[in-house]
A and B are shown apart, each in its own frame.
Chain A
């Protein structure tokens, strides 16, 4: 089962990478961009067929390792 985890800095937490890329886009003339936030996507291939069980387990993985919940939010999607 493919599981997609998206990890993103929380709203209100300044994203230095996003700011740098936003600035670079502006330099290239892309002035329509209001804001840039950069996160990471983690693709997991999880054994088993029970979607709920997988989601529960991946939630634990996010809380323990994949995200730092002090500054990051995460979403879990089953592909």
Chain B
């Protein structure tokens, strides 16, 4: 599988993401945001975490105008897989590839710690190696992870099984670190080829680092 990891000024998780996919035996190419073409026959585009353009104005607001993003849009429109992690998730919202918007965390603090997540739906490529209801432990690190969507939008996310991950405690009871609507930590689009989440699976692929629960997620795209 060929993975393209897009790098913006201010991105800081590209090497972790590249390392994670290389550990899984995949071919990974870092793509600078000024590029106008994605690598040929790319299967998965990852928009990694960080602070693109310093998150000036709003998180990820400026990244959507980078030249490479036209290509990312058309890759997504053609049904290609796109994964947005943290700042990448914020980009997908700003680009309209996923519904909703991101606000400052409800407690206005930057939250950086391991957090339990509940797998809400595993009938998709990303979570197919996990089971619905499973509790996993993955790091989060964000100041603007307070996901917002209106009532109608939430109903439609639920109806189409687009809510992928919610925040919880070790027993699976809702526990919300940032104020997200319905404790949402990750969603996908209706066609289930565009995925966004605030937690960092690429930081949880080796037990040495405290958890390898992220590995199964990243393996989901690997044929």
Does B104 lie at the interface of the complex (its beta carbon under 8 Å from any beta carbon of A)?
yes
A28 within 8 A of B: no
A69 to chain B, nearest CB (A): 9
In this complex, how many residues of chain B approach chain A with their Cβ under 8 Å: the count is 18
Across the interface, which residues of A come within 8 angstroms of B107, CB to CB? 16, 20
Docked complex Cα distance between A46 and B108 (Å): 34
A11-43 contact mask (Cβ, 8 Å, vs B): 1 or 0: 001101101100000000000000000000000
| Contact in complex: B108, A17 (CB < 8 Å) | yes
| CB neighbours of A53 from chain B (8 A) | none
Is B113 an interface position by the 8 A CB rule?
A: no
Q: Which residue of A lies closest to B59 (CB)?
A: A68
Least distance between A32 CB and chain B CB atoms (Å): 23
Chain B min CB distance to A57 (Å): 17
Q: A1 contacts the other chain (Cβ, under 8 Å)?
A: no
Interface 0/1 of B144-171, CB less than 8 Å to A: 0010100000000000000000000000
B105, A16: Cβ atoms closer than 8 Å: yes
Nearest Cβ distance between residue A28 and chain B, in whole angstroms?
17
Question: A16 near B101 (CB under 8 angstroms)?
Answer: no
Contact with A along B81-124 (1 / 0, CB 8 A): 00000000000011000001101111110000000000000000
Report the Cα distance A38→B106, complex, angstroms: 14
Binding site for B on A (CB under 8 A): 9, 13-14, 16-17, 19-20, 65-66, 68, 70-71
B58, CB-defined interface residue at 8 Å: yes
**Contacting pair A70 B101 (CB below 8 A):** yes
B57 close to chain A: CB less than 8 A: yes
With the chains together, A70 CA to B101 CA distance in Å?
6
Chain A, Cβ-Cβ closest to B58: A68
> Contacts A16-B107, A16-B179 given: A66-B148 contact, CB under 8 Å?
no
Residue in chain B with minimal CB distance to A9: B103
Interface residue? B61 (CB, 8 A)? yes
Q: Which residues of A contact B58 (CB under 8 A)?
A: 68
- Tell me the complex Cα distance, A42–B62, Å: 15
Residue of A whose beta carbon sits closest to that of B105: A16
A13 to B150, CA, bound (A): 9
Whether A14 pairs with B94 at a CB distance below 8 angstroms is no
Docked-complex contact A70 and B106, CB < 8 angstroms: no
Q: Is the beta-carbon distance between A70 and B146 smaller than 8 angstroms?
A: no
